[in-house]
Amino acid sequence: MNFWLELVISLVVMLAVVLTSALVTIYVELKAGSHMQARIGPYYAGGRWGWAQPLADAAKFLQKEDLAPARADRTVYGFAPYVVLMSTLAIFAVIPLGPDLVAANLDLGAYFLLAISSLSVLGILMAGWSSANKYSLIGGLRAAAQLIAYELPLVLAVVAVVIQAGTMSLNGIVEAQQVTLFTVGGAEIALPFILTGQIIGFGIFMIAAVAELSRIPFDMPIAESELTMGYLTEYSGIRFTMFFLGEYASMVGLSAIAATLYLGGYGAPFLPESMANFAGPGIFFVKVAALVFFIIWIRFTWPRLREDQLQSMAWRWLIPLALFNIGLVSIFKVVF
């Protein structure tokens, strides 16, 4: 197929998938969160169950005046949300939805993921610095400190996966989780990495991922009671919408990474290889939805950590544990 045609098709499909899943995630958070707090939540929008609430919210946000503080650095201020959103959208380029359903099958897929997802720190720092607002600045710096602290355990957890899979390509990592480990009564059983020695790594990855998203219990950068809304304080209108969409899209994105690395991606037990391209996206999104729901669930359950508790958790617990995990996985890799 023509290279440019292929590029445009995969771009459009990926954009549609990401934005739809972000809107669905917003809806699920509104609805599930409400029920966790013994309320109904969105009810009237769209006629039934308030399904159109995220769309109505987006329409409302877009109508709002696009304000900027008088002393703001206009260029940086205007550009920051798009940096955050771009870094999120780029994650999806390398996520495989099926053996052939991947926008860019990179040999260094895992490396690309970690590199591109760290770019959002830049956007958040830009937003915090350029807003000319003390809350924004403190929020932006907190976000930078947090994202740097939790990038390390995230990377170290992924290193363990790369060691076990023996490749950095995400397709390769998914295929490594479909290797037959043993047979039970003629059925070939393949297990995802979470069940074959990566349980600690999965835990570290999920904690670090929630911290990367700066969501409760790690939402100090936008802690409402302390910093109004952190680096988002001065934003409104379309730029706020971009931040908002970016937050939920990166929630889906990091869940997609976790599903790919630990839960076997598009693969499922007893799935014939010929079906993988058709059933793959469905299976994959079920796994992603489960992880997204988990993140929403802890948001509505757990309290916020203190800033020093956050740092000590990363540096004193998660990083040593991640290093220990790498050692353990390496030993098992050599022994078996």
Partner 1 sequence: MSKGITFPFPGLFKGMGLTLKTMLKKAPVTMYPDEKEIPVPRARGVISLDADACTVCMLCARECPDWCIYIEGHKEAQEPAKPGGRIKTKNELDRFDIDYSLCMYCGICVEVCPFNALFWSPEYEYAEPRISDLLHNQEKLGEWLETVPKPPALESR
Residues that bind partner 1 (CB under 8 A): 32, 34-40, 43, 297-298, 300-302
Closer to partner 1 by Cβ: residue 37 or 225: 37
Shortest CB 207 distance to partner 1, Å: 12
Closer to partner 1 by Cβ: residue 278 or 317: 317
Closer to partner 1 by Cβ: residue 38 or 184: 38
Closer to partner 1 by Cβ: residue 35 or 64: 35
Phi, psi of 187 (to 5 degrees): -80, 130
Closer to partner 1 by Cβ: residue 145 or 298: 298
In this structure, are residues 180 and 190 in contact, taking their beta carbons and an 8 Å threshold? yes
Q: In the chain, how long is the greatest CA-to-CA distance?
A: 72
Shortest CB 293 distance to partner 1, Å: 10
Phi, psi of 242 (to 5 degrees): -65, -45
Shortest CB 46 distance to partner 1, Å: 16
| Residue 316 neighbours by CB distance under 10 Å | 10
Single out the residue of 330, 296, 248 nearest to residue 41, CA to CA.
296
Single out the residue of 256, 315, 248, 239 nearest to residue 97, CA to CA.
256
Taking the C-alpha atoms of residue 277 and residue 267, their distance in angstroms, rounded to an integer, is 10
In this structure, are residues 24 and 51 in contact, taking their beta carbons and an 8 Å threshold? no
Shortest CB 45 distance to partner 1, Å: 15
Shortest CB 72 distance to partner 1, Å: 39
Closer to partner 1 by Cβ: residue 39 or 74: 39
Taking the C-alpha atoms of residue 41 and residue 30, their distance in angstroms, rounded to an integer, is 6
Shortest CB 132 distance to partner 1, Å: 38
Number of residues that this document lists for the chain: 336
